[in-house]
Every structure is written in C-alpha cells, then in structure tokens.
Structure 1
Amino acid sequence: MQALMKVAPGVGNVELREIPEPQPGPGEVLLEVKAAGICGTDLHIYDDEFRTQPPVVMGHEVSGRVVALGAGVFGVREGARVTTETYAATCGSCRLCRSGHRNLCAERRSIGSAVHGGFAKYLVVPATNLHELPPGISDEAGALTEPLACVAHAVLGAATVRAGETAVVAGPGAIGLLTLQVLKASGATVIVLGTDADEARLELARRLGAEHTLSVQREDAEALVREVTLDGLGADVVYECSGAGGAAAALLRLVRRRGRYVQIGLFGRPVAWDLDEVCYRELTVTGSNASTPEGWRSALALLRSGQVSTQVLVSNVYPLSAWAEAFTCFREKRGVKVLLKPGA
C-alpha cells in the first residue's frame, strides 16, 4: 500500500512509499482509514521541529472502519465506524499513567511520529484506543475527534473557564475554532483574535458564536478587549492556539490581573515571552499536551449533543497522492481544516 512517510531526519524528507499492509497482533485491530487530518504537528515533523522515529508513516487524526481483529480482542465489531486515540504504547505503571495522564508518560510512543500512523490505507492500533463515532458524524468530521479531544483536555481538563467569564482565543485555525466552540458550550463570552489575512476564518468564528473578533495587529486591541469585559480589567482567561510568538506576547496584555493563560498551540522553537508579567499580574499559566481519556469522553459527548461541530471546519479534502498540495494548502492557511483520503 502507499503511505506518506517521514523517511529520514532533517527538513523535508517526506515522501510516498510502498510498504506492506499491516496485520493486527494480539490486542490490536486493523482499521481501513477513511479520513486523516493534517495537523500543525505534521508541518513541524516536515520542518524537523518535532521528534520522530523515521522511517514512519505520518498522521494521527484518523477515522476509519474496523476490518480485522487481532487475537484476544473482544467487544469490538468488524465494520464499526471508529476514531482512535493516538498512543500506541505507554509504560502503564508510572504515576502519570496510573492517574489517567498517559499523554505525559516518558515512555509514550504515538502513531504518526514513533509508530506508523494514518496517512495510509490501513492502520493498526490497540483495540483499547477505539471510540465508535456517534450516529450522523461523517468520516471527515470524525477525523477531527482527536483535535477536539486535545482541546477538551486543555479547556475542561484543568477547569480553565467558568460560565459567564470572558475568554480570548488567539488563532482562528481548527484548534482555535474548536476551542471557541468548547468555550461557548461552557457558557463563556468569547473574543477570537486573528491577523488581517484571517478574515474568512474570523467570519466563521462569528458564525460559530464568537461575540467579537479582532485583528491582533490592531493597536487598540487591548482597549477593545477591556471595553467588552464587565469590569474593564481584561479577559478572565486567554488561550494561545496559533503557535505564533507574537500572539503569545499580545495575550499577556489582554488578560486581567490574577487571570489565566493557557498554551495550546505549538511554536516548534523557543519564543520570547515576558515572564515578569506573570509575576506582576499574578497569572496562572498552564500548558496542554495532546489528550487524555477524559478529554476523549468530553469530545465525544460534545459531538453527540451537537454543541460542537467538526464538520463545519472541513474545508479541503485531497487524495493521498496530492499530499504535497494538501500540505501547501494547510501551510498557506487556505480554508480551515485539510484532510487526506488514503483510499481515494
């Protein structure tokens, strides 16, 4: 089968290769991949800014159908429409694994970076990773369950927002627009920041419930945020979803004293950030890494209830053979979410 692989360390070194179709081992299932999302992490892998173990098939945002079961697998039916958690292996015994934080296990190996991922027609994953897609959720929408689980972990896992609060989201890409929807489901008033090139995405943010959208480049952004908060002191909580150092710096000016800063986006490199402001404002700063089982449960509940739509974010779908064009489309921010269809 054809697979899109990171074949060696270094910038680039991504290509289509023919590899054998995988077979499920004990406790594993074989999925036929129906849709796989291109994530910012995939661009970081291309740019050699994210650790991988090449040669490895990329892709970790997946929906598919179960086509074969390995030995000892029970409670999974062939033909089920599913999505999958991304961890191929964790140690299972460290404090983090035992407390439900497999995402932070030092021994974690994930699909798409350490073991073969979803940019291929077939994918093998542990049976315990599977989640059946809710009725009415398309294959394309189902592939976005993984980024939604990451957002649910970031927003809800640490209880970063409360109903009635004002939140600012920097970056109207897929992660930012999912964050917006989770915040709206939590009862927050939401302001979404983008650049002058993001007008179409900011319009989508308004359709998804954002009370205000602003260009982060506006000199009066700080005054406008203060104007729309109840006490004029700034946002209660801010979420950096763009992976842009300038946005991270801007958010420090928009959050109120004793407010909360949450980092969701990845920069791929060190960025300048004024830690003195964390002291002066007594800010609570949290980060979020990938997803947890609780994040997946929340994500699927939000999809099932209709409080979050992932389908509305799907803008571009390419066959696997057009992966280079798809990566360029994503890098140039044309549309919102770009998917590959390995079987097309």
Structure 2
Amino acid sequence: MEINQINVEEIVKQILSEMKGGPVTSSQTPSTNMPKTSKVALLTGKQKIEVREYPIPEIGDDEMLVKVEGCGVCGTDVHEYKGDPFGLIPVVLGHEGSGQIIKMGKNIKRDSMGKVVNLGDKIVTCVIPCGHCDACLNTPSRTNLCENTGIYGLISDDETHLNGWFSEYLVVRKGSTFFTVNDMDLDSRLLIEPAAVVVHAVERAKTTGLLKFNSKVVVQGCGPIGLLLISVVRTLGVENIIAIDGDDARLSMAKEMGATDTINFMNHKGIDALVGAVKDATNGLGADFAFQCTGVPVAAANVWKFVKRGGGLCEVGFFVDNGDCTINPHYDICNKEITLVGSWVYSPQDYPITFDFIKRAKSIGLPLEKLITHRYTIDEMNEAMETNMKQLGIKVVFINDKF
C-alpha cells in the first residue's frame, strides 16, 4: 500500500493524540478536503427559502467547522417559516442537526460531557448559554431558562452566515455546548434533539412523584414529540399508556412506540364523550398523569379533564404563542388537587440521559427509525416545510447529499 506524506502526518498526529490522551488541537484539515464555500437554505421571507452560497469564514481558536450530515424539521422551524414570530428573517433554520468536525480551533479539547474531541468526530449541538443572566449564575443545571440563550437555527443571519443546520456546513461558536455521538447511526442522531425535549419533560414530570410502574399515563398529541414521549415513558417501565390524536396512522405508530390504548378524538363528539373514553381506558378514574403535546389551545384546556383527582400534568406543547385556553380553577385544579409542571426546551444535562434513552428504546424493540418518513435535499427545503405543514408524514428531515 502506498502511503503519501499527508497520510504519514495524519497517522503520526493520531498516535500522538492517543498517547497524550487528548485531541490534536489543529485548526486545519488536509487542503484537499477543505471547502471554500457553503450552500445554505436561507429563509428570506415568509414561506420563502432561497439557496444561497457563502464563503466559509476562518475558524477561531474556540470554534469548529462542522460538515452537516442532516437535520430534522421541527414545528418551531415551521412556525418561523410561516409567520416569523421570532423576528429572525433572514435566517438559516435547523436545530435538530448532526455533522462531522472537519476543522477546529486549538482550544477545543473536550465536549460537554468531558469526552476527548478529534477531527472526524460526529457531533450534535445543544444550547449556547449566555453565562451571565440569573439562570446561568444561580441555576446552572437549568440553563434552558437562560434569558439570552442561543440555539443554532434560531440565530439571525450575520457575517458568519453558517448559523443553522439547514446548510452544508455549520460554524460552532465559542461557548456552545455540544456532544460527540460517534456510536449512533444517522437516523438516531437526527432524533437526539427532539428526544431531548421529551426527556426534559419527563424529568420534570418525575419531580411530582406521580410516574410509577403502574401509573396510567395519557399522552395527548402524536406528532414526533408525542410519539417520542410515549417511547420514553415506555422505556421507564410504565405499562399503561393511552395515546390521543385525530389521525389513525399516527395512533397506529403510537402503538408501535409503546402505547397500550389509543383514542381518536374525531370519533367522540364533545369533551364529555372524550373524557368518557379516557375514563373507560383508566378503570373509570382518569389518568394518573398526562402529557399535553400539541400546540392547540383547546387541547391544552381539555387535558386537565383527563386527569384524576390527585394526578399530575405536564404541558409540553407550547413553544410559541398559540393563544389562550380556558380552564376552570375550581374543577380543573383545586378540587382535584392536580400537580402541574411546565417544560421548556432542554438543558445540556438532559443530553446524556437522551443518549441512554435512545439506546434503551432500541434494545427493547421500539422502532424509533420509523419516525423519519420524509427526506429532502437542501434544494428542496420549501417542499420539506410544506410537507411538514400538511402533516403528510411524521418526522421530515433534510439530508446533505454532498456528505
């Protein structure tokens, strides 16, 4: 086998890295592999994504350049695509991504779990905490509440341009939290971020002390978040999970993810009939705990009525302002003495738990890979968004066909 000079240098660097127990802290990759420009899917107006090409900037000592493998399309992306509620346009969306480090600054040594980082590692990103707000200073385990948090894919376009995962390359900035995920396949890596949303919600629910092996749990809404939530609860050993949705195909998938009973709300006229169906599935009492995973105000009002006296509720589904809902404080809260927790995104501490969840789910036969139903290239991102808005599949993803 012929070994050229570049190969020899790379082999020596790798050996030295392993001997020292740390990464080779280089900001360069072999010149034959270094790109000059990157395509991005830039949201330039409401429901208008344009493919642009920008020069790749120089990488600083605390930054990385990542070649994007792919990224899931989130409901938050769709909200921004439809109406720009965050005021980010122009913006490169995409925060459910995975990619490979091809260039890194000399100060990059370990990921947010303390694992040694090397060129070629596959990574996912988490939040970029500001480090100086009240949440960062006083509750560092809850940086999801950071008042100035940054998330790739929700950063307005600037001189860097490569700020979201709907791109061929991503610049990972100083202060970012990120994790190496070399031991997972691509489909699993693309499910990590939404799974972390769910893991955070379940960790919040566990603080109530109401999730037990014999708990009867209702999950309302069987989109990607609801389906992943069903699978997380199932991996915890909960045997009685009731899924509620208006789509039979999604309810069928809920069964595959671990639901024991399903209720199609379209088959029940009025809230009383729907509550009756829930009680029929829970020995006439109602749920011990319920997770609300839709962004629909009427659903957020209905879910309170599914919970039995002394039960608990976690609101998962409102990440943008979808409007108010109406509840009765006496009947819905006080009379039943319900324990409520809210859930907001995730913190870096949720990611290690998420990795274990995905491995555990697969080990017990939950087919998480079936959640990914549609794949699009960077030139097809408008179509990807439209597919998501029409709810034609479950998890829509962008795949970088240049990887």
Same fold, TM-score > 0.5, yes or no? yes
Distance 2:337 2:198 in 1: 24
Q: What secondary structure does 2:243 align onto?
A: strand
1:262 match: 314
Equivalent runs, 1:33-44 vs 2, <5 Å? 33-44=68-79
Aligned pair 1:341/2:399, yes or no? yes
User: Cα offset for 1:228?
Assistant: 2.5
2:141 match: 100
Q: Deviations over 1:207-265 (max 9, x none)?
A: 222100111231433222212224x2200111111211232222122111222121111
1:286 match: 341
Distance 2:242 2:49 in 1: 37
Distance 1:130 1:154 in 2: 20
Distance 2:168 2:277 in 1: 48
Gaps of 5+ in 1: none
Q: Deviations over 1:2-59 (max 9, x none)?
A: 2122336xx4354322222244323222111101000000011112353143332111
CA contact (8 A) 2:242 2:281 kept: no
Please, which of 43, 59, 62 is the counterpart of residue 27 of structure 1? 62
1:144 match: 191
Distance 1:70 1:210 in 2: 46
Identity of aligned residues (%): 28
Distance 1:253 1:336 in 2: 27
Distance 2:66 2:120 in 1: 9
State the one-letter code of the partner of 2:312. Answer: R
State the one-letter code of the partner of 2:386. Answer: T
State the one-letter code of the partner of 1:223. Answer: G
CA contact (8 A) 2:376 2:399 kept: yes
Aligned pair 1:111/2:152, yes or no? yes
Distance change (3 Å), C-alpha of 1:70 and 1:328? same
User: Cα offset for 1:93?
Assistant: 5.6
Distance change (3 Å), C-alpha of 1:242 and 1:134? farther
TM-score normalised per structure 2: 0.78
Distance 2:78 2:392 in 1: 15
User: Cα offset for 1:96?
Assistant: 4.2
Equivalent runs, 1:85-234 vs 2, <5 Å? 85=126, 87-92=127-132, 94-96=134-136, 98-114=139-155, 116-126=163-173, 129-133=177-181, 135=183, 137-159=184-206, 161-188=211-238, 189-195=240-246, 198-217=247-266, 218-219=268-269, 220-230=273-283, 232-234=284-286
Structure showing greater radius of gyration is: 2
Please, which of 25, 41, 61 is the counterpart of residue 4 of structure 1? 41
Please, which of 339, 343, 351 is the counterpart of residue 296 of structure 1? 351
CA contact (8 A) 1:3 1:18 kept: yes
Consecutive aligned runs of 4 or more in structure 1 exceeding 6 Å deviation: none
Gaps of 5+ in 2: 1-37, 110-115, 157-162
